[in-house]
A and B are shown apart, each in its own frame.
Chain A
């Protein structure tokens, strides 16, 4: 019960960087998997994805736990009848839960988008469908940017505005560059989105294997975290 209460607090007041990092890892892995066609490549990638997921979960949990120590809020938590291990487990669970939800949302967005895309010819008066697709294609980067600015604010409060602004400009330039490349195919947002997401569409949906990796990574993070706490706890 104590872990659940701590878990709830983590979800309510937790920053979004854990989810962002997990999403990024998922997207990169999915993209790579889409690129690899040989069975050997898949096997290698599976091993890599396990390690990467573990590192991602561990780093994000470590960061949030370290912040509790740095800001002294660990003393607030330890006023309650809880152990350091329970605090750590609740944090790892929150990181994994948030990561899974965001990955799932990313998956649903890309899935919904491509289903719609495939069905475009069959939809009567496909102008509506096209409008919807354009909205999705525009809103996805906007949402990503929102998350990005959130993350920047957490790690670099002082220059967050500047960093976010510079990033937006950079992304716009990249976008312009891609538009040039895609020009022969017609420079509509749908095509740009297709270029970005078609690998993700195939692979981002969490497979059973990914899910098991995710759980195993979490378990390993718990063990590693407890070992770190035992070794470096300076309270």
Chain B
């Protein structure tokens, strides 16, 4: 379970998160949606225990985020966080050494599904392939919690579709708690059990995906468009 209460985070004079609260039960998938600069990445970094915060309470499986929660949390950052001079296999071996929940059979499966090879050097890969590597590293773990920061952004449709296939396969195969941040809602919304709409660090709309669809009579994608672009009065 992930619990966030009145979370406040500042970057200098800028308030990145302002009183964010939510509770995500074990085994649920939360879609964290919002435009760029809405605070999605900051929130995920805090839950991953990478970033500090000013006020509020954050608990991941009952623990304060940090080194101890990273033993059971798999975080896939938005930015390209791979070593250019290393191969994919080097990255895999490095991560394997730190965690006990590495699943080698899933690793093999993902190598095939994402069309990757351990001997490929990171510097020889395109952006879409580097994203695939990050997905491979994050999803080869049988983690209790997955934090995916914009796994679909800035990549070609083929990579996006392969990554979505991998995500669907993994998350339907066993119970894990997932937070999936994105501004590409259309392709990912079927995965979401819960949805939080963030804007300038504030939660402007939240609820179960089915309830929101029922309440507004629209898809999450259409609600997203209305909330942020066309009819802000929906909220």
Extra pairs beyond A74-B81, A78-B49, A79-B95 (4, CB < 8 Å): A5-B98, A13-B86, A75-B50, A80-B95
Contact indicator per residue, chain B 57-68, by CB within 8 Å of chain A (1) or not (0): 000000000111
B42: nearest chain-A partner, CB-CB = A235
Contact indicator per residue, chain B 119-143, by CB within 8 Å of chain A (1) or not (0): 0000000000000000001100000
Q: Does A72 contact B (CB under 8 A)?
A: yes
Are A72 and B79 neighbours in the complex by a CB distance under 8 Å? yes
A2: nearest chain-B partner, CB-CB = B98
**C-alpha spacing A235/B74, complex, angstroms:** 18
CB < 8 Å: which of A71, A79, A234, A235 contacts B70? Answer: A79
Contact indicator per residue, chain B 89-122, by CB within 8 Å of chain A (1) or not (0): 0110011011100000000000000000000000
Q: What residues make up the interface of B, taking CB atoms closer than 8 Å to A?
A: 11, 45, 48-52, 66-68, 70-71, 74-77, 79-86, 90-91, 94-95, 97-99, 137-138
Q: How big is chain A's contact interface, by range?
A: 10 to 19
Are B79 and A80 neighbours in the complex by a CB distance under 8 Å? no
Q: Does A73 contact B (CB under 8 A)?
A: yes
**C-alpha spacing A13/B68, complex, angstroms:** 27
Are A80 and B80 neighbours in the complex by a CB distance under 8 Å? no
Are A73 and B81 neighbours in the complex by a CB distance under 8 Å? yes
Segment 162-181 of A: residues with Cβ below 8 Å from B: none
Q: What residues make up the interface of A, taking CB atoms closer than 8 Å to B?
A: 2, 5, 9, 13, 71-76, 78-83, 233-235
Chain A to chain B contacts (Cβ below 8 Å), 24 pairs: A5-B94, A5-B97, A5-B98, A9-B94, A13-B86, A13-B90, A72-B77, A72-B80, A72-B81, A73-B82, A75-B77, A76-B82, A78-B49, A78-B75, A79-B48, A79-B95, A79-B138, A80-B70, A80-B95, A80-B99, A81-B67, A81-B70, A81-B71, A233-B52
Are A235 and B86 neighbours in the complex by a CB distance under 8 Å? no
**C-alpha spacing A5/B99, complex, angstroms:** 12
* Residues in A neighbouring B51, C-beta threshold 8 A: 235
